[in-house]
Chains A and B, each alone.
Chain A
Amino acid sequence: MAQITIDGETYEVGDGLTILEALDQLGVLMNEVELPHYCWHPKLSVDGSCRLCQVEIEGVPKLQIACNTPVRDGMVIHTKSERVEQARRGVMELLLLNHPLDCPICDQAGECKLQDYAFDYGVKHARTDLPRRPAKKGFELGPTIVFDQERCILCRRCVRFCREVSQTGELGVFQRGERSLLETFPGAELDNPYSMNVADICPVGALTTKDFRFKVRVWFLDDVPSICNQCGRGCNINASRSNNRVYRFVPRRNDAVNQTWICDHGRMSYKGLTEGRCTEARVGSRRVNYDEAVSTAGDRLRSAIDAKRPIVVVASPFASNEDLFVLQRLIGDLGCEPGTFAIERGDSDALLIRADKCPNAEGARALGFLESDAAVGEAAIALVLGRVAPERLVNVETQVQLVSHEADISVSADVVLPVRSHAEYLGSFTNFERRAQRFSPFLEPCFEAWSFGDALTEIARAAKVLGWEQPFDVIRVSRELAQAVPAFAGLDLESLPAEGAPLR
């Protein structure tokens, strides 16, 4: 450990780190310690070229860049001295020298580091009356990203991202000096499974996603922390919403799960939250209200119980830990065969994308469900969560299916209950590394629908199953889960930290 002093405050930091790394690891960068920077990014190699993070170090004659200066025990650093502020003003003035200053028509406005830092550390008046350097505007770099070359400050974060993270290397800075331009290599386009991350890391309005640009001003958005449900990784995201509409997913940093990235597929999955939803309950081909569907399902369940006929349960790896815990308890109370779940598999890679295309397979396993895609045994009634292959239910008389999307409705379903997507309720998923992570609702469902756990509880109540008198309360259920299942000890929704925690 090394002890460093920054603006009079002392910090204990790890050896061998640079000043910025050390501050980042302590979690004080840009809140407790203001050290503006452009080219440095915690998950990319050090570039050292924007020169904005210069600091004064006692005993060192020249200002040093904090991103590339290793900490030394006893180092005394000043970030607010006149020399430092003057150097910053210089960098800001020079970065703005050829900048088009088109903030009113720039989609980055409001979350632009050039805007923010110019306001916080820059000069208020331009000293230049020279024409600004023209360059390409609104230029597509590939299927997902639009480039404004005039706004680019050449920090090369995107270049390093494509070389080091996606390892596709489509981007480079061409020419030199003030003629330097970011471009794709000749014949290449920016097209890789992670391409839209470059828009997140671009500190200015040079790289924006085709999908999000010009949809909404960012100051109208608020971000709700959630989890991507497109594969077993469980990338941490923020859902940016306004007026009960989600406009984008952006990665939320979690060094143990997804660093600061998400894949393009996961990012675009917000569209599926509202498209093709199952909005009405059905009994047979008849559209009914929710209560009727629940009481029908309850009645059928009751008759199976009374007739002592077999009942089966098909779980879903898209349901939350709390949903699955409720289901597991119901299985116990009904005395049916162990529940099963099936996983759809697809492409995977070494970075984030997992082959298992569901968010909670590990949660299902941890709660005692068995992975199987075999047909279930003969049964009077099957309670089915989510999508199911029809051939699995050939031996079932009555199917009660709880689904969020139209496309998931089984042709042979007898009772269909719409349920909420994970955007609409509180819960937790367990990712492929058995890490429990909480997601919060960021949309109000615009039709009547309950979560899996809620709907299951109501069916059990309607069937008058003993011990199921109370309505569903996710917080209470999560506490019960934490008490009943040792793997989840201490991991109830209120105790689960923002970055999640491994199962016990």
Chain B
Amino acid sequence: MQTEPYTKLYLSEHYGNEAFRTLAGYEAAGGFQGLRAALARDPEEVTELVKSSGLRGRGGAGFNAGLKWSFMPKGDERMKVLVCNGDESEPGSFKDRMIMQQGPFQILEGLLIAAWATGARRSYIYIRGEYQYPIQCVRKAVAEMYDKGYLGRDVFGEPGFEHDIVVHSGAGAYICGEETGLLESLEGKKGQPRKKPPFPAQHGAFGLPTTVNNIETFAHVPYILSRGVEWFRGFGTEKSPGTTLFGVSGHVERPGLFELPLGTPLREVIAKAGGVRNNRALKAVIPGGMSMPVLTPSDLDVPMAEEFLSERGTHLGTGGVMVMDDTTCMARVACVISYFFRDESCGQCTQCREGTGWIHKLCERIEAGRGRPRDLELLESVPALMEGHTICAFADAAAWPIKGLLRHFRSDFECHISEGSCPFPESFEL
């Protein structure tokens, strides 16, 4: 298992160093300076600072983190809650796991800063059930914090600043990574996203005002406080400052995690991963986890930041870069992707429940060489029935990749239909 990214900047600087996983080692490496800097300021000021840093959520939607914090109601008597989303269930994403294992105190420090800024009394760290080792790592870090008196009452000697952290294990469903699906699951219910309104800031975990952020988002926060907004904005682009952990997988020589500034050209990200395997030609790249539409070799120079990717009809998502070489059959890819979304739809909304099943049956039939000419027309129009019409973004996530594959690789599908067989003999097995 990779214990440190192949390229490191500030976030993963100490990853791979055993000591950094202990409280003493974390403090020796400069830990909690961000929190101390935050405690010296007014909570509103901290929120403003994070807002002005331009830190975008690293869980997929890329929303300004400080702005999200500012939605927490002021002057509300109810206890406020933070939820740290460690469900990391997007296929192609494996960055949060590394952070939980190698930098658990970064997450806890980020949570405490957010707690100070928002007035939250309690945090839940929701980690996907399959991540047993990361859960252990985070639990151990939380226990160390309590032992040292860093959690509970008068956190870091700040009178009246109380905070508790609860680590919660999920049970393995993609949809529990959606923030309100996560909240339902956290409450012990079936993981199904909630309709909005009400939004979590008004009615979140257990009906309390809640802010949900991704693991990596919290982990970046201490550096903004300790080193300053200017320094933070020295990485990345104007609209997407900072670094991220790109998880490169698929047909590359050296798959793994790479900490790089946002806005790094896609070509460079793939080059860091040793380029396409066996010197083969690149066919397609999914830039940000499986739910994002594909890019083609003509997009290699796109800077890996949301504002540039959205111009090309796709998104940064979670930064999970999936590389496919020229042996890959895109009809088969569509079949795999549609299978996943058919399996993971929570089943509440009509369009998603029925649409994901329909798309998968069509993809399966096309892939198996039993497709009919009209199937492509359907494969274009069914995603359109789903997109933008449901409680959560899952239906979009299921629709986009299929639309993207058809837009760029229609001939792969047509070939399956007209020839009744796969034109790529070396393509991966189903």
Contacts and interface: CB of A to CB of B under 8 A. Distances in A.
A91 B388 contact: no
Given A127-B378, A175-B347, A176-B346, A154 B197 contact: no
Contacts of B385: 90, 93-94
B354 A49 contact: no
A49 B345 CA distance: 13
Contacts of A70: 197
Nearest to B352: A177
A63 B353 contact: no
A97 B349 CA distance: 14
Contacts of A50: 349-350
Contact of B358 (A47, A63, A68, A97): A97
A49 B355 CA distance: 14
B312 interface: no
A177 B356 contact: yes
Interface in B140-197: 173, 175, 190, 195, 197
29 contacts: A47-B195, A48-B195, A49-B349, A50-B350, A51-B349, A51-B389, A54-B389, A62-B388, A65-B195, A68-B195, A90-B386, A91-B389, A93-B385, A94-B358, A95-B350, A95-B354, A130-B358, A130-B362, A133-B357, A153-B350, A154-B350, A154-B353, A176-B346, A177-B343, A177-B346, A177-B353, A177-B357, A179-B347, A180-B347
A154 B390 contact: no
B326 interface: no
Contacts of B389: 51, 54, 63, 87, 90-91
A98 interface: yes
Nearest to B353: A178
Contacts of A90: 351, 384-386, 389
A173 B353 CA distance: 13
A289 interface: no
B272 interface: no
A48 B356 CA distance: 19
A63 B353 CA distance: 19
A25 interface: no
Given A177-B357, A178-B357, A91 B347 contact: no
Contacts of B391: 48-49
Given A65-B195, A68-B197, A177-B345, A91 B378 contact: no
A268 interface: no
Nearest to A68: B195
A498 interface: no
B414 interface: no
A303 interface: no
Interface residues of B, number: 34
Contacts of B195: 46-49, 65, 68
Contacts of B14: none
Contacts of A87: 389
Given A90-B351, A90-B385, A93-B385, A178 B356 contact: yes
Interface in A59-95: 62-63, 65, 68, 70, 87, 90-91, 93-95
A130 B361 contact: yes
B348 interface: yes
Contacts of B342: 177-178
Range, interface on chain A: 35 or more
B353 A180 contact: yes
A128 interface: yes
B193 to A, nearest CB: 10
Contacts of B356: 177-178
Contacts of B388: 62-63
A154 B347 contact: yes
A176 B349 contact: no
Interface string A153-173: 110000000000000000001
B92 to A, nearest CB: 20
B173 A176 contact: yes
B345 A128 contact: no
A49 B197 contact: no
B350 A176 contact: no
B337 to A, nearest CB: 14
B344 A177 contact: yes
Interface in B317-374: 342-358, 361-362, 365, 372
A70 B199 CA distance: 13
A333 B7 CA distance: 106
Contact of A51 (B343, B350, B384): B350
Nearest to A52: B350
B411 to A, nearest CB: 23
A63 B351 CA distance: 14
Contacts of B357: 97-98, 133, 177-178
A127 B355 CA distance: 13
Nearest to A89: B385
A176 B351 CA distance: 14
B190 to A, nearest CB: 8
Contacts of A52: 350
Interface string A129-156: 1100100000000000000000001100
A179 B353 CA distance: 8
A133 B173 CA distance: 23
Nearest to B347: A180
Closest 4 CB pairs of A and B: A178-B357, A180-B347, A48-B195, A90-B385
A75 to B, nearest CB: 14
Contacts of B354: 94-95, 97-98, 178
A65 B195 CA distance: 10
A63 B391 CA distance: 11
A90 B352 CA distance: 11
B355 A94 contact: yes
Nearest to B348: A49
Residue among B350, B356, B378, B386 with the highest chain A CB neighbour number at 10 A: B350
